[in-house]
Chain A
Amino acid sequence: MKVLVYADVEAGQPAAVARELVTGARALAGPGGRVDLALFGADPSAAADMGVDRILTLPALAAAPYDPAAHAAALSAAIAAAGPDLVLMGYTTAGLDLGPVVAIRHDLGLVSYCQTARAGDGAVETESQIYGGKLIARAATPLPALLLMNVGAFAEAAPAPGQPEVVTLEAAAPQGLRFIDATAPDPDAVDITRADRLLCVGRGIGEADVIEEAQEVAGLMGAELVGSRPVVDAGWLPKERQVGKSGRRVKPALYLALGVSGAPEHIEGMGEAGLIVAVNTDANAPIFDHAHYGATVDLTDFLPAFRAALEGR
């Protein structure tokens, strides 16, 4: 099988997710198969050790910031040049920007949120996490197809020094979008990635009033208070305290999740915490599949009780 991997780029280097996808691509391609890497935001030399057969590049984009329209045109040129049976992308912002666009252009089947992918008979068999991770959807999609793979679905490939062939593409520069500037997290804001204890509140806290009580409990624990996306979207906590795909990725010694359902996008940001404790009234919440300890008591009862337990020590 011929597999084309699109590489997300961070700070001029292929992102970790790109190295994960190469692992999956090698397994899917099988012996005698070919793995190509579409690398547009970095110099091809940055991917020489990724263990791919060819690197497809477009020189005008190598040093340019990410531009979805330009990358869609370039990825389209890569698909035309490589004729892949399967295109692998991460379920990332670029994956969302480009995947469906090129799937329409090249009439590719598309499956999102994939946790596994296996080559079938003229098809690719996938398992996707849907409904916030509560259910798994199995599908068999005829080739050629494009998969948006969850971050972490494959292990990161170990460096494999080699001399992959570099193929230079051409694509017209599209109009309509212009990159202005990029922003990194505010260095003066709290850096939750450095905290060794985090108390996270999720949608299940119900109302903004609970934030104050949670803040006090966090203080007693020696923890920083953080939130999942719905809490930040509601304006209850500032953006720099958001954990998950669109927030920060954290790895504290302790992560106490209150009212957090455990959607895959949240797990992506905290799944490697040392000790995960979850309190959620929904016994089927996916967070319990990732927590070490759990409880299903009501938060309005738990918070004052936990506060009293901490104060009593």
Chain B
Amino acid sequence: MHIAAILRIVPDQNEELEIDDSGADIDREWIGLKLNEFDDQALEEAVLLKEAAGARVTAVALAGDGAERQLQTAIARGADDALLVDHDIDGIPGARAAAHLLAGPLRDLGADLVLTGVQTPEDVFGQLAPFLAGLLGWPTLNAVHGVSAGAGGLEVVQEYSGGRAARFAVTGPAVLGVQTASRPPRYVSGSKLRQASSATIARAAGALPDGFAAPRIAALAEPARSNRAEMLDGDAEAVAERLAGLLAERGLLGGRE
């Protein structure tokens, strides 16, 4: 089994996000970047599969800010190889463009299982895993939280709303949009990271089909603040006292009747 784990660098949405002068993108000048949290889970699941059942894991990223460092980190975490896919898009490719750019290099790589995160904070025009599946002609499962190797292939757990889930046997090549790995992503020591910083990163070229037109956001806006909460002022003690009082008034504290 050859697993490709696709990694994407995204803005840290926990930071303050500002709309840039164009009005259609965030100001990326100073925003912190990080590995997409679901890609982190996908990489972990790929390495867990390798450890449990034997597989070759190639970490794959599109060229861009921080991509090479993430690939090196992936090797420190247990990936065998790294592949950086070059492209000539100015800016950050959306998921649909990314799928076109990656499909050819993934075919050339010979990967028979692709794992990536189920979504990113900014994939407003669709998600990478199912776009890739559509282009490769492979089945896809998304909102995946657990992949294990069984007798006849892989067993994949897919989540639905309300705490429901289903198990599927995957008997051929597939693209999985991972939500949660079977175990939380592992810690990587500084020495392993230093060791991986000299790892060789292979390169490939991605291409868009002729006439590909990337969808664009017309405008970004802050959400309407019409139903804003009534804010409790003061320090933690004052807030705690006020809240305890509010809840007691409503009969929402103490033992249940």
Q: Which residues on the A side are within 8 Å of B216 (C-beta)?
A: 139
Residue from A131, A175, A242 within 8 A of B121 (CB atoms): A131
CB pair B229–A98 under 8 Å, yes or no, is no
CB pair A130–B240 under 8 Å, yes or no, is no
Q: CB-defined interface of A150-188 with B at 8 Å, one 1/0 digit per residue?
A: 010000000000000000000000111111111111000
In Å, the complex CA distance between A138 and B235 comes to 38
Q: CB-defined interface of B162-184 with A at 8 Å, one 1/0 digit per residue?
A: 11111111111110010110011
Q: CB-defined interface of B202-245 with A at 8 Å, one 1/0 digit per residue?
A: 00000000000001111111111101111111011101110110
Nearest Cβ in chain B — how far from A205, in angstroms? 13
CB pair A309–B130 under 8 Å, yes or no, is no
Chain B CB within 8 A of A62 CB:
no
Chain B CB within 8 A of A248 CB:
yes
CB pair A135–B14 under 8 Å, yes or no, is no
CB pair B236–A298 under 8 Å, yes or no, is yes
CB pair A96–B127 under 8 Å, yes or no, is yes
The total of chain A residues at the interface (CB under 8 A) is 102
In Å, the complex CA distance between A240 and B165 comes to 12
Q: Which residues on the A side are within 8 Å of B96 (C-beta)?
A: 100, 104, 110
For this complex, into which size category does the number of interface residues on chain B fall? 35 or more
Chain A CB within 8 A of B11 CB:
yes
Nearest Cβ in chain A — how far from B76, in angstroms? 20
Nearest Cβ in chain A — how far from B199, in angstroms? 27
CB pair B246–A136 under 8 Å, yes or no, is no
CB pair B127–A301 under 8 Å, yes or no, is no
Q: Which residues on the A side are within 8 Å of B133 (C-beta)?
A: 100-101
CB pair B168–A277 under 8 Å, yes or no, is no
Q: CB-defined interface of A202-235 with B at 8 Å, one 1/0 digit per residue?
A: 0100000000000000000110000000101111
A109-B215, A293-B229 are contacts. A101–B140 as well, Cβ < 8 Å? yes
In Å, the complex CA distance between A39 and B41 comes to 33
Nearest Cβ in chain B — how far from A42, in angstroms? 15
In Å, the complex CA distance between A148 and B233 comes to 39
CB pair B223–A135 under 8 Å, yes or no, is yes
Q: Which residues on the B side are within 8 Å of A222 (C-beta)?
A: 253-256
CB pair B240–A139 under 8 Å, yes or no, is no
In Å, the complex CA distance between A134 and B31 comes to 15
In Å, the complex CA distance between A141 and B183 comes to 39
A92-B160, A297-B236, A308-B240 are contacts. A131–B17 as well, Cβ < 8 Å? yes
In Å, the complex CA distance between A294 and B231 comes to 5
Q: In the complex, given contacts A136-B220, A222-B255, A288-B231, what are 13 additional A-B residue pairs having Cβ atoms less than 8 angstroms apart?
A: A67-B168, A100-B96, A105-B134, A132-B13, A139-B217, A221-B247, A222-B253, A233-B184, A246-B145, A275-B252, A289-B224, A298-B236, A306-B243
